[in-house]
A and B are shown apart, each in its own frame.
Chain A
């Protein structure tokens, strides 16, 4: 049970490092901030690239071409059957006329060539939009297998190579993000732990005396853990601040870049506080054995 004097002491000591060791604390926050800035930039790049890949996946769709000469009622009856297939989000009927119109538009100046045709050669079709979870090769193939056996279906078209390439790049990107993120994270923890060790080394005498007069480890540890958290908070805020200012300055040149939401900024700063806490804890272990090194 903490007494008032002890509680006041612990609060005071949590901030004492900033007063007593201005230079060490300043350098610590600067180094931590730099490591965290690298981590924040990487996170931002990851978020943006991930968003771009997700955007590209929206383009994963299917076209189901129907046999020619099907009566209208049979064509219309397919729509409700297509909608209930797992993974299918939306079904749009494309009549031969609409298809020809689209084809003509896509030909541009060469559209005159279509005038040579006696009749519309394009069959009726359905355009299938897929749910986000089904925008991958396995799901697309599963839908194609199910629909492909229907007698009304002539052909199913989807861009397998494109999906393949997208999946490969997504996988590579995820692995690269994980690897770089891990390296930067370990480096950040290492830097934080070492900078906190500097603080601890400067306080070794105080800790030794505290142990000699019978202070418990919890009492000794608390101000340093709080100090580590405050340093993490300031370093995280510094990293976010630099990133925000840089973002503002480069606003015109980085068109389309998505910045962190306020919740993500808050989450990152809380993460930095926890990192400071873990770094302090790791750095303190050496000093909190029972030995007081008399």
Chain B
């Protein structure tokens, strides 16, 4: 379970030892980047296995939240705790290890253009020192899961945008991360392909991986968001959760045009 609100925050965040506060916890986090306040007094927690949708206009601070989770940036004030580890107390040597437990997916896919699908995914295993025979097995597993094993010899430029994003997801998942951070993963995709990608993320989440999904697309948020945090001007404007879970088996049309969607949401701290 997750929680936030100015009133409940202190109680929830101090409720127990770090590992009991959720897989991700932000506590009164400020982030100043290049003399600009990117985040101001942000507090929330994300439970293990939760699917969190982070939304807000461009430049609101969504990516800053993801960067803090990845320990690619460190809070100017406050605490960021990921998998029980406090960002400000992390040694430099521990950060690569933490990142092996986090998968990343981006809007622009970020694949290695001169390597084929198989090599792009295997690369993530290679750098963390997985033995060769296991690499083959793991890459085959994730590429089969995303439906691209047959295209393993193709270069990224020979794939569609949706396929490239699926390769990126396979790469993110091959090390079996506990958290998957998806930064506008549907930004470059058409609605149908976007739905496929979101369905894939739902499947990953169903298998137990915590997914933090950032998007500025209200349509996607309205249709797919389970728990939604709205970031605006570097602050959390709202944090709500559906009363009725998203029907992950419903078609895109059913989900997009189902009436009364907003009425089924409630604040997380309520």
- Tell me which residues from 61 to 103 in chain B have a Cβ below 8 Å from any Cβ of chain A: 63, 66-67, 70-73, 92-93, 95-100
The answer to whether the Cβ of B171 comes within 8 Å of any Cβ in the partner chain is: yes
What distance in Å separates the Cβ of B122 from its nearest Cβ neighbour in chain A?
9
Does chain A have a CB within 8 A of B127?
Answer: yes
Q: Which of A2, A6, A205, A211 touches B112 (beta carbons < 8 Å)?
A: A205
Instruction: Tell me if B183 and A213 are in contact (CB < 8 A).
Output: no
Shortest B76–chain A CB gap in Å is 15
Q: Check if B104 sits within 8 Å of A215, measured CB to CB.
A: no
The answer to whether B110 and A9 have CB atoms under 8 Å apart is no
Nearest CB of A to B114, in Å: 6
Is A34 part of the binding interface, using a Cβ–Cβ cutoff of 8 Å? no
Does A290 reach chain B (CB closer than 8 Å)? yes
Contact A212 B104 (CB under 8 A): yes
Cβ–Cβ contact B123 & A209, under 8 A: yes
Stretch among B42-50, B129-137, B147-155, B228-236 lining the A interface = B129-137
How many residues of B are counted as interface, with CB atoms below 8 angstroms from the partner's CB atoms?
33
A213 touches B135 (CB 8 A): no
Q: Which residues of A contact B159 (CB under 8 A)?
A: none
| A6 vs B66: C-alpha distance when bound (angstroms) | 29
A205 smallest CB distance to B (angstroms): 7
When chains A and B are docked, how far (Å) is the Cα of A20 from the Cα of B67? 31
Known A205-B112, A294-B183; contact A213-B128, beta-carbon cutoff 8 A: yes
Name the contact of B99 in the complex, choosing from A2, A4, A212 (C-beta under 8 A).
Answer: A212
Q: Are B95 and A290 within 8 A (Cβ)?
A: yes
Question: Does the CB pair B110–A208 fall under 8 Å?
Answer: yes
Chain B residues contacting A1 (CB-CB under 8 Å) are 129
Chain A residue with Cβ nearest B99? A214
By beta carbon, the residue of chain A nearest B174 is: A213
Task: Name which residue of chain B comes closest to A293, CB basis.
Answer: B72
Report B160-184 CB contacts with A as 1/0, cut-off 8 Å: 0000000000010001000000010
Chain B residue contacts of A291, Cβ below 8 A: 72-73
- Assess the A292–B126 pair: CB atoms within 8 A: no
* Interface size range of chain A in the complex: 20 to 34
Q: Which residues from chain B contact A6 at a C-beta distance below 8 Å?
A: 126-127, 129
Partner of B127, one of A20, A210, A290, A292: A210
CB of A67, distance to nearest CB on chain B (Å):
82
Q: Is the CB of A213 within 8 A of B112?
A: no
Is B129 within 8 A of A213, CB to CB?
no
Q: At the interface, yes or no: A5 with Cβ under 8 Å from chain B?
A: yes
Name the residue in A2, A212, A213, A290 with the highest tally of chain B Cβ atoms < 10 Å from its Cβ.
A213
Q: Which of A5, A214, A290, A294 contacts B135 (CB 8 A)?
A: A5
19 contacts between A and B (CB under 8 A): A3-B130, A3-B132, A6-B126, A6-B127, A20-B114, A209-B110, A209-B112, A212-B99, A212-B104, A212-B110, A213-B99, A213-B127, A214-B175, A215-B96, A290-B72, A290-B92, A291-B72, A292-B72, A294-B70
B interface residues, Cβ below 8 angstroms from A: 63, 66-67, 70-73, 92-93, 95-100, 104, 106, 110, 112, 114, 123-124, 126-132, 135, 171, 175, 183
